[in-house]
């Protein structure tokens, strides 16, 4: 069971169709492996359906979003039980496999320094970059900040920074205020789905080189 989750606003924005495709992918892949977020999303989906039924005109996504956000405090006490999707034991969540089938990677895995490798996925989602990243067991991603938002979903292994240790299914969001030096857990390569809006900005000793190749 994941310990790190997207905040409620991201779940609501997904329900209201307000996220770009890359961000929607990483949130939806987390929901697929997280019972807690499945339950919350089901509540938002039923609230959205209720709102659509009560509306005379067809509301736009922004109106649905506002309606859902206004319901946030009252739905939190009353989360109904729903039938959960079966947990996917496969290496990637099915959401990601479906995405890869629809948008096959145009490039193969690229080595980035000695510790990292990355598989670039489809580009062009409102400027977001989407990739699968591998960090060798026990290795460190050099210290960096972010020019924009970064969304990470751990698919295999573990990754630690000052906020804790993320394992399979855990999701974490970082913005420009976060400077961190993530370390992969020992044992197996850490594989993550990473969506960034704006490039990473490496700040450590090898920063200039990594900024150039990343």
- Closest to Zn ion by CB, 29 vs 194, is 29
Residue 44 in tokens: 């938002």
Alpha-carbon Rg for the chain in angstroms: 18
Rounded to a whole number of angstroms, the minimum distance from the CB of residue 136 to Zn ion is 27
- Closest to Zn ion by CB, 29 vs 130, is 29
- Closest to Zn ion by CB, 38 vs 203, is 38
- Closest to Zn ion by CB, 10 vs 48, is 10
Residue 53 in tokens: 């039924």
- Closest to Zn ion by CB, 11 vs 183, is 11
Neighbours of 10 (CB within 10 A): 21
Site of interaction with Zn ion (CB under 5 A): 5, 34, 36-37
Rounded to a whole number of angstroms, the minimum distance from the CB of residue 87 to Zn ion is 13
Q: How far apart are CA 159 and CA 171, in angstroms?
A: 11
How far out from the chain centre does Cα 200 lie?
Answer: 16
Q: How far apart are CA 190 and CA 158, in angstroms?
A: 6
Rounded to a whole number of angstroms, the minimum distance from the CB of residue 3 to Zn ion is 9
Report how far apart, in Å, the C-alpha atoms of 13 and of each of 61, 63, 68, 169 are: 9, 11, 9, 20
Rounded to a whole number of angstroms, the minimum distance from the CB of residue 130 to Zn ion is 20
Report how far apart, in Å, the C-alpha atoms of 50 and of each of 14, 46, 57 are: 17, 6, 14
Rounded to a whole number of angstroms, the minimum distance from the CB of residue 31 to Zn ion is 7
């Amino acid at each position: 069971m994941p310990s790190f989750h997207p905040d409620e606003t991201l779940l609501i924005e997904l329900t209201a169709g307000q996220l770009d495709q890359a961000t929607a992918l990483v949130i939806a892949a987390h929901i697929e492996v997280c019972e807690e977020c499945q339950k919350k999303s089901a509540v938002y989906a039923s609230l959205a359906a209720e709102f659509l039924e009560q509306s005379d005109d067809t509301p736009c996504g922004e109106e649905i979003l506002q309606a859902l956000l206004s319901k946030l405090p009252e739905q939190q006490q009353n989360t109904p039980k729903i039938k959960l999707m079966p947990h996917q034991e496969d290496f990637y969540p099915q959401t990601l496999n479906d995405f890869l089938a629809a948008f096959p990677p145009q490039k193969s895995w690229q080595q980035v320094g000695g510790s990292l490798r990355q598989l670039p996925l489809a580009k062009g989602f409102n400027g977001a970059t989407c990739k699968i990243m591998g960090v060798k067991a026990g290795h460190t991603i050099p210290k960096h900040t972010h020019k924009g938002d970064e969304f990470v979903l751990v698919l295999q292994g573990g990754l630690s920074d000052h906020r804790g240790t993320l394992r399979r299914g855990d999701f974490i969001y970082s913005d420009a205020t976060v400077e961190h030096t993530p370390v992969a857990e020992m044992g197996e390569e850490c594989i993550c789905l990473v969506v960034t809006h704006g490039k990473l900005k490496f700040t450590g000793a090898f920063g200039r080189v990594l900024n150039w190749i990343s």
